[in-house]
Every structure is written in structure tokens, then in C-alpha cells.
Chains A and B, each alone.
Chain A
Amino acid sequence: MSFDLANLPDADVVALAQQGREPAYRELLRRYERPVFSLIFRMVRDRETAEDLSQETFIKVLNHIDRYRPEFKLSSWLFKIANNVAIDHLRKRTVETISIDGSPHAATRAEIEATSFDVESRGESALEEVESRELGSSIERAIARLRPEYRSCIMLRHVEGRSYEEIAALLDLPLGTVKTYIHRARKELRDALEHLRT
């Protein structure tokens, strides 16, 4: 039996996965591996961790695909789990790491600069170089400085194009809180990018 999986809507692909069709599992992975990985990578800012957490997200979803209810969007379910595993990871991380962009506790630009690493001087590996290039644009750096809750809200809104209501539902937050987070995130990003415009 052959299906043109690429043209089927998510609900139909999930129905095939529920029948134990491996190509349907592969199609779901193909559709969502990048969005899920991007969301988690931008949350945790470490490729290896992001891969592990993305893997955990997909394993959770695909192993419980029989529980999926078609009245909800599959992508919302995936992003909800992805966000939860990323937030859990950030909460559990006991050893504080200092990013190349400076300490997360640095409040002023001077403090950020004082705690920042010079990428060139670290003798970084090729992989690290790619990572820092991937997340190295001004906007990425500005996103990294946001609080995790702001970060997930702003990415779901503007990178994934989700409505405020969807974000509220998938992050289990009141609608007003989501609006506030996005408003504050936009303001912080605008302030962070101001130097580029002057």
C-alpha cells in the first residue's frame, strides 16, 4: 500500500501512524524535526542538549501517538512537550553555565560585556564555531538574553506564527500573561537591537 504522505494533512498522517505504518512516523519527523529542534536549540543554546531534548520530545509523542485526539493540532502537542522538556532542563541545570554572551544575571550592557567570552580566543572546535555562527546574529543573541518564558512565547508567536490563544493553550498560561510576555519580549529585543539602528 503506498500513500503520498507529503500531501496529507497531519491528522491523516497520524491516523496512518496509529495503524503502525513506519513511513507515517518518518513523515511526522520530517515535518517537525526542524521546528521542534529550532525551538529547543534557541531555548537551551547547546546543540547536543537540544538534540537530546528534541529526541525526548519525539519519543514521548510518537510512543503515545495512539492517545492523540484529532480535534487538537499535532504541532501544538509537539510544541507543548518541546517547551516543557526545555523549561524542565533549564530548571534542572544545577551547574550554572556562562554563555559566550555573558552571565544570565548580568543586568547592564557593561556587565554583559565584562562576563562575555571572546569567541576567537577560545580555540573553539569546528562544531562550536558552527553553533556560534548559527546563533550568532544580533537577534539570536538578543533572544538568548530573554527570560525562558519570554523566549518560548516570542518564538512561538513570530517564528512559528502561532496565535496568542494557541500559545496560551500550549504553555498553560492565561491569555493576558502571554500578551504581557510577548509585549515585554518585543520591548527587550527592540532595546537590545537599538544600537544597530543608531
Chain B
Amino acid sequence: MDRHLLPSEIDLLLDGEVGFGTSPLKTHIRKCPACRGELDEARATVRALEHLPHLAPSPLFAERVLSRVNIFVPWHVAALDTLRGLVPSSRGGRIAFGVAGGSVAAVMSLLVLWIALRFDAVVFAVGILADRVRANILDAVGTLLAGALGDSAYTLVRTSGLLGLTVLTLALVAAALLAATLLRTFAVNRRR
């Protein structure tokens, strides 16, 4: 190489680049005092930069930042934490907790297993329960209707079956609409 190094070539050496391209540059540096001086100066500057210390903010910096940060706990983490909070910290307590939890889990498993094995009995029991609930609801509605419309109207609705129930429902809806319209008209007239 019969010339001095270019600034970009000095930068390559400064950044510690390796490869075939840098070997003639290194050879030149060994021979040329001017370029070596240039590189040494650049290295001294870089060393000074690399020795710059990290400066510290004031001691309360972290507290000030955290006071303005919204720390969000996702629901699943909160749930897990709650569960963990229920587990006793002492070894004996943890064993007792484990035994109690295991017992509850075993009873629940047996119950589920029993239900699965006696499915027909469960269906039968649910059917009886549903019938009783329906009968109670019908009784309550019947008492309400008899009180509002009288026994004869209630008997008529009851004997006419689904048609009677539909007519009654429509009549109630029509009465409600009529009442609402009359109230509205009354309110508008009073405002005038």
C-alpha cells in the first residue's frame, strides 16, 4: 500500500474488524508511523469514551417512577395468588391442607362416578323435581288469575286450554297498551 490510510479504514481497525480486507491495513499500520499515530489517537478517544461512568439519578428516582406506574395483575395470576394464600406456610399445616383437599376431591370424584353409574335414577329424580316445580308455578298463576278475574273466568280459561290462554295473554297485552296510550295522552294534555 503506497498511500496513507483513509479515515474509513482507520474506523475499520478501530472497530476491531477482522477479515482479508483488514490485513493489508494492519501491515501498513506497522510500517507507517503517521497512520499508526492516527490510529493510536483514535483509540485513545474511544478508550476515554468507554471509561465514562454511568451517572446515578437521585436516590428516590425508582420510588417516584413506581408511584406513577400502574401495576396490573391479570385475573388468572390474582386467582392463583389467592389460592396460594390459602395454603398454610407451616409444614404441618400444608400436610393437613393437602389431606383435607384430597378428601374433598375424592368425595367429589366418587359422587360424580355414582351419578354416572346411576344415570337413569338421576333422570327420574330430575323429572319428578321438574313436574313439582311446574305444578307449583301453575298453581301460583291460577291463584293470581282467580284473584284478578274471578273464579268463573279462571275456570273458563283453564277449560279452554291453549286457545283460552292465548286469548287471555293477548287481552292483557292489549289492556296494557291501551293503559299506556291513555296515560301518555293524559300527560301530554296536562303539559299543554
Contacts and interface: CB of A to CB of B under 8 A. Distances in A.
Contacts of A51: 57-58, 61
Interface in B41-62: 41-42, 44-46, 48-50, 52-58, 61-62
Given A20-B72, A25-B69, A62-B65, A159 B42 contact: no
B116 to A, nearest CB: 38
B137 interface: no
B54 A34 contact: yes
Contacts of A139: 45, 48-49, 52
Contacts of B188: none
Contacts of B57: 33-34, 37, 50-51, 54
Interface in A1-31: 1, 18-20, 22, 25-26, 29-30
B68 interface: yes
B77 A19 contact: yes
B148 interface: no
A147 interface: no
B70 interface: yes
Contact of B62 (A33, A154, A189, A190): A33
A59 interface: yes
Contacts of B78: 20
B45 A20 contact: no
A159 B47 CA distance: 10
A41 interface: yes
Instruction: Tell me whether chain A's interface is mostly helix, strand or loop, or mixed.
Output: helix
B33 to A, nearest CB: 15
Contact of B73 (A20, A58, A187): A20
Interface of B: 7-8, 11, 14, 41-42, 44-46, 48-50, 52-58, 61-62, 64-66, 68-74, 77-78, 84
Interface of A: 1, 18-20, 22, 25-26, 29-30, 33-35, 37-38, 41-42, 50-51, 54-55, 58-59, 62-63, 66, 134, 139-140, 154-155, 158-159, 161, 179, 182-183, 186-187, 189-190, 193-194, 197
